[in-house]
Each structure stands twice: as structure tokens, then as C-alpha cells.
């Protein structure tokens, strides 16, 4: 079967190199030197990778027959497609190919139905599960272990533990309001507590010690003594 493993970005330099948006967890296998890749549109390929290197955190590729910036720029936005054995599995048990995830049912940890995975969106810093909801809408689920704690291929389901607001914006507003109120209460309690301790503690300490030097000490001692006499 065919899998999209990368998307070609802009040209880099003047010798035919291109930036690449990687869409595979195994770039060293799928995008290594000598790999022959189909393309979308098909008219742009097939392309054979001549060399690759990482520059400023991005993968740069050079293809056979692409020798200058003009040729490289003509490939911009082309998808690179690899032939993959449908029975092949990633070496890491926590990694999955796109075709393994598409069409999985999505439920929350308490069993609530969310929808079905229709697509995997590969962003530079994070993958997203595009989930089609029963009402026809879509929700984007970050594909990280904190949000997707379980992928059960046998049961054909993905279990998610969504933070407030991921599935329902109202939940985010309520959670945000609660956090704001809690923060305000903590601030009031802290300010009040410190003020009481500072005033009362100083008065009590000054009264017990009998200190009378300095304006502050005079005021604290007088206040403490006044309270005692009254």
C-alpha cells in the first residue's frame, strides 16, 4: 500500500536542495539515499533521493536530476509517497502507521463515543488525529500519550482523556472561570493572612519585648499595650 511520507517545501540554496515536511516516524528508512518515491501529482515523479541532511532542525533532500533552484522550486508542495507492506509494523510498539489509525473508533476513558478517525495531520511539532463526529463535525485530537493513553488495534479503538474544552468549548470556559476564581481567592487569602500576621504579630512581639525605640516600634508597642489595657 502507499503512504505519504513527506511533503516538499521551498527550495534551499541554488544547488537543487529542498526542505521537507516529514510525515513518517521513520525518515531514515523512508527518506534515505537511494529511496525511490512516487509523487502527488504523479507528473512530478517518481523521484529518487540522492542525498539528505539536517539543517537548522529541518530535513533537506536532493533528488537525482534536480540541479538548480528553479527545478527544486518546481517541486514545491509535492507529496512523496512510499510503498509499504500492509503487514509491516513499526519497530516501536508505541508508534503507528497512518493506515493503522484511520477508521478507529474514538471513545473517552469513561466510554463516551466521540467519533471515528478520518485522517492524520502531520504538523512540524505534533501529529493530530482528525476525528469525524457523529453529527458531521470534526475535532482535532493531539496525538500525545497524555491525551491518547491507549490505542487498541484488536478492538479497533482509540481511547482519549481530553482536557476541558477539547471536545466542548463550554467546558473550557467553565474551567477557565473556576481557575480564575480560585486564583483570586488564593490572592485574597494570602494578602489578608499576611496583613493580619504582620500587624498582629508585630504588635504582640513589640508588646512582649517592651521595645520602644524607633517610630514603628513606638506605634506597635503603643498599639499592643492599648489592646492589653482595654
Higher-confidence residue of 151 and 28: namely 151
Based on the domain organization, do 76 and 104 belong to the same domain? no
Residue 84 pLDDT level (bands cut at 50, 70, 90): confident
Give me the number of domains the chain comprises: 3
Residues 6+ apart with CB under 8 A from 46: 36, 37, 38, 39
- Return the closest-CA partner of residue 56 out of 29, 19, 90, 91: 19
Q: Residue 156: is its pLDDT beyond 50?
A: yes
Question: Is residue 64 one of the residues assigned to a domain?
Answer: yes
Among the candidates 83, 109, 126, a domain finishes at 83
Higher-confidence residue of 90 and 226: namely: 90
Share above pLDDT 90 across residues of the chain, in percent, rounded to a whole number:
49
Is residue 33 located within the same domain as residue 72?
yes
In a domain, 111, yes or no: yes
What's the average model confidence in pLDDT over 122-135? 86
- Residue 45 scores a pLDDT above 60: yes
Q: Do residues 9 and 40 share a domain?
A: yes
- What predicted TM-score, i.e. pTM, was given to this entire model? 0.53
Compute the average pLDDT of residues 106-126.
Answer: 89
* 90 within a domain of the structure (yes/no): no
Residue 71, in any domain of the structure: yes
- Among 92-106, 118-132, 216-230, the range scoring the smallest mean pLDDT is 216-230
From residue 227, give the alpha-carbon distance in Å to each of 65, 204, 212: 94, 10, 16
Where a domain ends, among 160, 186, 208? Answer: 160
Q: Is 169 part of a structural domain of the chain? A: no
Instruction: Identify whether 31 is part of a domain.
Output: yes
Residues 6+ apart with CB under 8 A from 129: 101, 106, 117, 120, 121, 140, 141, 142, 143, 148, 158
The CATH number for 19's domain is 2.40.30.60
Is the same domain home to 145 and 104?
yes
Quote the CA–CA distance of 30 and 132 in Å, as a whole number.
Answer: 29
Task: Tell me the three state secondary structure of residue 67.
Answer: coil
In the predicted model, is pLDDT for residue 205 greater than 80?
no
| Mean pLDDT across 47-54 | 94
The counts of H helices and E strands in the chain are 5, 12
Residue 93 lies in a domain: no
68 and 15 together in one domain: yes
User: What is the CATH number for 148?
Assistant: 2.30.30.240
Task: Read off the pLDDT band of 175 (50, 70, 90).
Answer: very low
What domain range is 77 assigned to? 2-83
170 part of a folded domain: no
Query: In terms of domains, do 50 and 22 share one?
Result: yes
Claim to verify: residue 221 and residue 153 sit in the same structural domain: no
Same domain? For 150 and 180 the reply is: no
pLDDT of residue 22: 86
Residue 102 shares a structural domain with residue 64: no
Averaged confidence pLDDT in the chain:
78
Where is 71: in which H helix or E strand? helix 69-73
Per-residue confidence (pLDDT) for residue 85, from 0 to 100:
75
Judged against a pLDDT cut of 70, whether residue 124 lies above it is answered with no
**Comparison of pLDDT for 67 and 88, the residue scoring more:** 67
Domain co-membership, 204 together with 156: no
**What is the pLDDT at residue 152?**
94
Amino acid at each position: 500500500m502507499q503512504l505519504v511520507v513527506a511533503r516538499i517545501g521551498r527550495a534551499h540554496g541554488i544547488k537543487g536542495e529542498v526542505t521537507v515536511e516529514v510525515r513518517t516516524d521513520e525518515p531514515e528508512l523512508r527518506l534515505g539515499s537511494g529511496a525511490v518515491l512516487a509523487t502527488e501529482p504523479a507528473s512530478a515523479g517518481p523521484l529518487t533521493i540522492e542525498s539528505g541532511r539536517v539543517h537548522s532542525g529541518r530535513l533537506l533532500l536532493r533528488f537525482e536530476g534536480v540541479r538548480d533552484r528553479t527545478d527544486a522550486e518546481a517541486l514545491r508542495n509535492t507529496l512523496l509517497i512510499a510503498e509499504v507492506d500492509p503487514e509491516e509494523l513499526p519497530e516501536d510498539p508505541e508508534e503507528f502507521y497512518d493506515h493503522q489509525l484511520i477508521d478507529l473508533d474514538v471513545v473517552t476513558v469513561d466510554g463516551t463515543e466521540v467519533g471515528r478517525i478520518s485522517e492524520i495531520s502531520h504538523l512540524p511539532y505534533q501529529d493530530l488525529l482528525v476525528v469525524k463526529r457523529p453529527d458531521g463535525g470534526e475535532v482535532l485530537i493531539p496525538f500525545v500519550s497524555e491525551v491518547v493513553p491507549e490505542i487498541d488495534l484488536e478492538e479497533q479503538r482509540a481511547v482519549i482523556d481530553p482536557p476541558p474544552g477539547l471536545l466542548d468549548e463550554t467546558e473550557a470556559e467553565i474551567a477557565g472561570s473556576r481557575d480564575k476564581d480560585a486564583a483570586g481567592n488564593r490572592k485574597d487569602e494570602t494578602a489578608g493572612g499576611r496583613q493580619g500576621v504582620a500587624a498582629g504579630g508585630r504588635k504582640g512581639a513589640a508588646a512582649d519585648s517592651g521595645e520602644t525605640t524607633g517610630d514603628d516600634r513606638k506605634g506597635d508597642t503603643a498599639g499592643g499595650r492599648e489592646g492589653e489595657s482595654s
